[in-house]
Structure 1
């Protein structure tokens, strides 16, 4: 399917539109260290990218025998909220959204982020007004986050488009599998400022039709021009 054949574009958030992964990883690493678990930043990032907090807690329990204290989630929420006030947009992301709007091509965001953090990051990055109401999180689908397809199926339905006519843009194997399972065409986009634990080879191996490195490349592949 070429860039001109899609009827909607569905974006992941973290690492695709906003550069939040390094911020979150710093908070997690410091909070875990304060509660008795020292983890390598890269190892934690590799497990965290694309997943939910509950999936990460399950991994910490299974692999490290670490159980979260009762106050840990509230502490984490407070620190993440403070950190995400400084979330930057990934270079070119706003231009991509403006170009899609100008071309009349609908788009939505489907993220494993908790709803409050999702909207906080969009606002901090200056993208909330461009995305509007079409920002979806696991609470919209009964908590069934990626790698299940529900989020992307929900986003496509909200736009009134068949998922098979959608392009999903992802930076993680977890998210990519969700898009593939939804029946969409999935492109990898490795434009974030952090080192990507899931590189181009991993994304292609999981079913990505292609992998791009910048939003400029994404717009070119879609045949979009940034409005003056």
Structure 2
């Protein structure tokens, strides 16, 4: 495969721009434990984070042999999205995005309206504009590559010209399946030690970092590597 110059930076939203995954996980565990007294929810649910909430709930239900109605799923999702959307930005996010001159997009497994609201609330729309690609506009959510391929098409760049920032196994798997370079971010409150970094590397993250203030230097390093290969 021919090397191409890096042209775009694509960021996940939850767990990358805002520290929301721990909030969402806490809500999901709380709501399921209320419905299933005595069930060991957390050990089953936590490894599923990064997927659509419906899939997290469905996978947890199946693993524990429990049932959720469509109304339960809708109600839990609404609470999780509302509380997670209020999570704080990671320190240094805005300055990092400001320092990177690449075209930027946001690609999320959430819903477009939710992500637009998060970006607007945190004054990040100035970096992403209308370049928002979410699971509700594609056939298959992450870990399928559809969201990332849609982002590349929308930006009119080759997938190989994109650097992605992801925090989950699901997201890294999706971006790598799309043929993109992936930087794994492990600075979120939901990340539990070195094991998560190892999992991200195992599914294809090419670098791991835990502080958003490191992002500009990492992106510059990968641009330099690509330029060296294409020279």
Equivalence map 1:10-25=2 (5 Å): 10-25=10-25
Alpha-carbon offset, residue 196 of structure 1: 4.2
| Residue 207 (structure 1) aligned with residue 204 (structure 2) | yes
Show the counterpart of 2:91: 91
Q: In the aligned structure 1, how far is the partner of 2:178 from the partner of 2:47?
A: 24
Which structure 2 segments of 5+ residues have no match? 222-231
Q: Check the 8 A contact 2:54/2:73 in 1, yes or no.
A: no
Show the counterpart of 1:191: 187
Show the counterpart of 2:159: 163
Q: Check the 8 A contact 1:87/1:121 in 2, yes or no.
A: no
| Residue 218 (structure 1) aligned with residue 215 (structure 2) | yes
Show the counterpart of 1:173: 169
CA RMSD of aligned residues (A): 2.2
Gap change, CA 1:81 and 1:151, over 3 Å in 2: closer
| Residue 120 (structure 1) aligned with residue 117 (structure 2) | yes
Residues 109-145 of structure 1: per-residue CA shift (max 9 Å, x gap): 1111122322233233332333221111112113x11
- State the TM-score, normalized to the length of structure 1: 0.85
Which structure 1 segments of 5+ residues have no match? none
Gap change, CA 1:121 and 1:149, over 3 Å in 2: same
Q: Check the 8 A contact 2:143/2:170 in 1, yes or no.
A: yes
**Matched residue SS, 1:110:** strand
Q: In the aligned structure 2, how far is the partner of 1:33 from the partner of 1:39?
A: 8
Alpha-carbon offset, residue 169 of structure 1: 1.1
Gap change, CA 1:81 and 1:174, over 3 Å in 2: closer
**Matched residue SS, 2:208:** strand
Show the counterpart of 2:105: 108
Q: In the aligned structure 2, how far is the partner of 1:145 from the partner of 1:172?
A: 13
**Matched residue SS, 1:60:** helix
Alpha-carbon offset, residue 178 of structure 1: 0.8
Alpha-carbon offset, residue 189 of structure 1: 1.3
Q: In the aligned structure 1, how far is the partner of 2:72 from the partner of 2:83?
A: 16
Alpha-carbon offset, residue 42 of structure 1: 5.6
Alpha-carbon offset, residue 157 of structure 1: 1.1
Q: In the aligned structure 2, how far is the partner of 1:141 from the partner of 1:11?
A: 17
Q: In the aligned structure 2, how far is the partner of 1:23 from the partner of 1:128?
A: 22
Alpha-carbon offset, residue 81 of structure 1: 4.2
